[in-house]
Amino acid sequence: MEGYEFDEREMRKKRLRQASRLKWLRKNPRAMHFFLFRLLANKTVALASMNIRTKLDMPQFHVHAPDVVMSPQNTGKINNKGEINFQDLDINLQDLDLNFPPPKCEQANGLDFSRVTNTDVIPDVMEKIIDVILNMHQSTREADQAITEVMRAWANASNQFPRAFSWLDKNNEEQCLWVWEQMRKKYISIDTKPISCEQRYHFIIAIFDNWKGWSDEQLGYLKENKRRKDGKFISYGLGGTSTLSHKEILLEELSKAWEQKSRRKKIKDTHPSLKLNKLYQKRLGQIAESKSMTLDETLKFLIDNELSRLSMLKPV
């Protein structure tokens, strides 16, 4: 009982220490969510590596023919410890089926949390950050080293795009949902579900900050979809280009698409009181879109221009 209480006290001390060291994150939501996603991604990699080592340390022997007799001659590849030396075998480790499902294509490259439990929803981001750090790193030195590495990555990401998604409103649910869905369609999504509009906003930016760009497989799927071939991220032929280029193109694509969507909605919501047939409604809409005006503003503009022209034609 005393040992259990001691462990509890030690764990509380560790949590308080990490909470104190990372308290600055609460004042910087973008950095806080970056930390969360980077740590979860790192944990996935660590768990996958551990799983590989575990499977390779547990050889399974399958005798396919009943007349095969185990002898020193045909078991020479096995050492005295009952382990297999894979360097002595004619096997490519990449060909081994270790029961690791590949990341889903729509999963944002570099943001696979599938091996980390309790990530369906994350109500308290700061608490989750501390949990991941303490679960992954037993010693204070290892935890500090992991935090330092994430801080370097954060500094690099924030310096590259200091105003990423500056046009995105964390209180605009329609806009945040639209961006979330567009990123999913472009294979930049995660399985974790936001619990609020504001968290969705922070998740969008954290995904972007940690994203490694489209994989070759994802680019292949995108190129096959004819509906997306007019986008820059396809027409520029991104195979082999840098993560930075992918991010720049993504931001430009999303920003322009939202601007166009908003402009069309504004035009649609402001029908003039004058009734026109469908043909002239369409023509008026085309003029309005070309001038970034509403239909009502466009009608007034055309009338004013025509009146101005007529007044100039009147004899003096």
Q: What is the pLDDT of residues 197-250, one digit of tens each?
A: 999 999 999 999 999 999 888 888 888 776 654 455 444 545 556 889 999 999
pLDDT tens sequence across 255-311: 999 999 988 887 776 666 667 788 887 888 888 888 888 777 888 888 888 888 877
Contacts for 194 with CB less than 8 Å, ≥ 6 apart: 180, 200, 203
122 in Cβ contact with 193 (< 8 Å): no
Q: Could you give the percent of the chain with pLDDT greater than 70?
A: 72
CA 207 to chain centre: 3
Contacts for 3 with CB less than 8 Å, ≥ 6 apart: none
Contacts for 263 with CB less than 8 Å, ≥ 6 apart: 289, 292
* Average pLDDT of the segment spanning 113-132: 91
Q: Would the pTM of this model clear 0.75, i.e. be above it? A: no
Predicted local confidence at residue 180, as pLDDT: 97
